[in-house]
Amino acid sequence: SPRALSAESPRGRAIADAAATVIPGGVNSSTRYIGAPYAFVAADGAYLTDADGRRYLDYHAAFGAILLGHNAPVVNDAIRTALDGVDLTGIGVTEAEVRLAQRIVEVIPSAESMIATMSGSEATAQAIRLARAVTDRDLIVKFQGGFHGWHDAVARNVISAPDKAYGRDPLSRGILDQAVDATLIAEFNDLDSVAALFDTHRDRIAAVILEPIPHNVGALLPTTEFVEGLRKLTEQQGALLIFDEVITGFRHALGGYQQVIGVTPDLTTFGKGMANGFPVGGLAGRRDLMEHFNGRTGDVLLAGTFNGNPLGCAAALATIDYLADHPEFYTRTHALGARIRTGLRGILAEFGIEATVAGFGGVFAVYFLSGPALGYRDLLRNDNGAYVDFHRGMTERGFLMLPMALKRNHVSGAHTEEEIDQTLEAAREVLKTLAR
């Protein structure tokens, strides 16, 4: 079980101080939390151990890349075996790549063929370039709150301040103005907002890209009409529909959220949990579209020295094989997710705190706002400070959650009912202090 913290972290602090002198900000991603716990030395199952020997129950799960639990033996054993095989060739293909693509085609409803990248961003970049190529159009539609990677084509309007929402809100300086302006912003669960963009930009929209559940702002659950409507509208308008299942894929169902909602996109992107913490991304879809990547007959460049690398493919294959052989993974994580959501709702109600607990499967999000959250518009009312206090209190008690308000947390295959109940006990202590 998790161990409560003291304020001192001498070893972690020393590592963090050294990091800050040679790594900007001391971390390798602008979205990585800077603060205690500073550095980690071990990971197993549902737990992380920091440099000062404290154990944390992990719901952060590396932003969701950890699916089965840390250092899952089935995945690590597969990598150990792969280490003795072919490392990298740069010509031809390896068996692991073929087996991974076969598996994806078998389990993902929309997949007829697949390419393996190194990250989710690479997968969405390829999807968007492919969409522009096959439609010969320039514009992309994404939703306010959706995140699809760090590259120029999608790097805008994720968690926007109220005055920037739906407006021009690049995620960074250094992005081409033309790239920002080629990406249009719609409101999730609002089909009219998408239809309006198609009206304004006749025959110019190449694709609509969405997280079927926008987990980058917690968990906005899509209505079936909305997703079916997007399918019809894109078809009528000659644009592609891209599901970014980098978070939802394999986590919510073996066939992704497309299997849950029963809508088939043209292209699907994967990453994160697909290889249980090892760097692999994927793009799958209709064969006629994917054939544009064919180096002999196609017209869209697919490059990447490490694409389809044997270690990553072995990790992905082991993860997906495990999930295919253990359907109870889904009943279990869904039940534990429901347990923590229901428990949190009860505690929040008991203390009279205005909040909404959302989620799906093993994912849960705590919004400090009243009323349901259907679209990003509802999230503008969130009390971000309350979440920050909640996060701090949980971290102090040994429970790791995502530090940003409006994000989500993850139950992995390694969490137990007992640990969920310990989490709820800790949440009760923390939320009690937020009650007034």
Residues engaged in binding ligand PMP (CB under 6 A): 63, 119-121, 124, 147-149, 211, 216, 244, 246-247, 271, 281
Q: Which is nearer to ligand PMP, 2 or 149 (CB)?
A: 149
The closest alpha carbon to 3, from 40, 48, 61, 66, belongs to 48
Rounded-to-integer distance, Cα 309 and Cα 281, Å: 11
Rounded-to-integer distance, Cα 401 and Cα 63, Å: 9
CA distances from 379 to 34, 89, 223, 244, 256 (A): 25, 48, 17, 21, 25
Q: Which is nearer to ligand PMP, 244 or 378 (CB)?
A: 244
| Smallest separation, CB 323 to ligand PMP (Å) | 19
Q: Which is nearer to ligand PMP, 110 or 237 (CB)?
A: 110
DSSP 365: E
Laid out side by side, the sheet with 55-58 consists of 40-44, 47-50, 55-58, 399-400
Residue nearest to ligand PMP (CB): 120
Q: Which is nearer to ligand PMP, 66 or 427 (CB)?
A: 66
348, 160 contact by CB (below 8 A): no
Rounded-to-integer distance, Cα 120 and Cα 148, Å: 8
Q: Which is nearer to ligand PMP, 258 or 423 (CB)?
A: 258
Sign of CA dihedral 169, 360, 257, 412: positive
For the record, the structure tokens of 196 come out as: 């309006």
**CB-count burial class (<10 Å; 0-12, 13-18, 19+) for 49:** middle
CA distances from 256 to 243, 245, 300 (A): 10, 7, 26
| Smallest separation, CB 191 to ligand PMP (Å) | 21
Amino acid at 394: M
Q: Which is nearer to ligand PMP, 190 or 244 (CB)?
A: 244
Q: Which is nearer to ligand PMP, 148 or 410 (CB)?
A: 148
**Residue 200, strand partner residues:** none
- Residue 82 in 3-state DSSP? helix
| Smallest separation, CB 311 to ligand PMP (Å) | 16
Count Cβ neighbours within 10 Å for each residue of 223-243 and write b for 16 or more, e otherwise: eeebbebbbebbeebebbbbb
Q: Which is nearer to ligand PMP, 96 or 217 (CB)?
A: 217
| Smallest separation, CB 214 to ligand PMP (Å) | 8
**Residue 306, strand partner residues:** none
| Smallest separation, CB 272 to ligand PMP (Å) | 6
Q: Which is nearer to ligand PMP, 187 or 211 (CB)?
A: 211
Phi, psi (5° rounding) for residue 123?
A: -65, -45
Q: Which is nearer to ligand PMP, 149 or 343 (CB)?
A: 149
| Smallest separation, CB 361 to ligand PMP (Å) | 15
**Residue 357, strand partner residues:** 366
| Smallest separation, CB 213 to ligand PMP (Å) | 10
The β-bridge relationship of strands 267-270 and 240-244 is parallel
Q: Which is nearer to ligand PMP, 9 or 183 (CB)?
A: 183
For the record, the structure tokens of 298 come out as: 């196609």
| Smallest separation, CB 247 to ligand PMP (Å) | 5
| Smallest separation, CB 122 to ligand PMP (Å) | 7
| Smallest separation, CB 396 to ligand PMP (Å) | 26
| Smallest separation, CB 148 to ligand PMP (Å) | 5
290, 104 contact by CB (below 8 A): no
Instruction: Compute the residue count for the chain.
Output: 436
